[in-house]
Amino acid sequence: MAEHTDTTTEQRPNPNEKLVKVFDSEQESEAMVVKGLLDSEGIENDLASASLLQDAFPGLGGMIILVREEDAEKARALIAASRQSAADQGNDDETEA
């Protein structure tokens, strides 16, 4: 019997909990990569269009990622480590050229 993965069962934080923004980007593709990173680490998160959340986060455009307040520090650390790794790889490419 084939396994069926249902995208509606993805891990999302309870909207009644206090959620905090840990990432925002004008690029949806970049936000999707970060969402995948958080998903892979088991951090429940919600990707939303910032334009839909203007009341809560005025002045933002693009996409934002929200997590539960208690997961925010871990999520930010993962995002920072991922960015540093990408920057290091970019520097390696430049030195090899």
- Asked whether residue 5 is domain-assigned, the answer is no
The pairing of beta strand 19-25 with beta strand 63-68: antiparallel
Say what the pTM is.
0.69
pLDDT at position 91: 79
- Asked whether residue 4 is domain-assigned, the answer is no
Number of structural domains (the chain) is 1
79, exposed or middle or buried, with CB in 10 Å at 0-12, 13-18, 19+? middle
- Asked whether residue 59 is domain-assigned, the answer is yes
**Which CATH number goes with the domain that contains 87?**
3.30.70
Domain that residue 81 falls in: 11-96
pLDDT at position 75: 98
- Asked whether residue 3 is domain-assigned, the answer is no
- Asked whether residue 16 is domain-assigned, the answer is yes
At 3-60, the pLDDT tens digits run: 444 444 556 766 677 899 999 998 889 999 999 999 999 999 999 887 765 566 565 5
